[in-house]
Amino acid sequence: MLTQRQLSKLLGVSLGKANYCLRELISRGLVKAKNYRTSQNKAAYLYILTPSGIAAKGDMARRFLVRKMHEYDALTAELEVLRREAGE
């Protein structure tokens, strides 16, 4: 439960940039903004990942893990080459 200001500070971006990005995520259907009807602050919104947003998040996580596994394999192969060269 963060405000946009807290989110922007946490991410190290301006409040305007955080707002711009949230609006784009909403326009793409990845996030849904829901107004708190019971809140005294009528500008209070709850941002919820939509099913499309959840799928996109899962896809990003999968791509990240695949990339990291490839990096790991490449580093392992490079270490093996260096070990063989050091042994010669």
> Is residue 81 scored above 90 in pLDDT?
yes
Which DSSP string corresponds to 57-87?
HHHHHHHHHHHHHHHHHHHHHHHHHHHHHHH
Hunting for tokens 């989110």 — which residue is that? 7
> Is residue 24 scored above 70 in pLDDT?
yes
> Is residue 82 scored above 90 in pLDDT?
yes
CATH number for the segment(s) 1-49: 1.10.10
Give pLDDT tens digits for 29-69: 998 888 766 556 556 677 888 899 899 989 988 998 999 99
Question: Six-digit token pair at 86?
Answer: 């050091």
- Residue 31 has a CB neighbour count (10 Å cut-off) of 19
pLDDT of residue 37: 61
Cβ pair 26, 35 in contact under 8 A: no
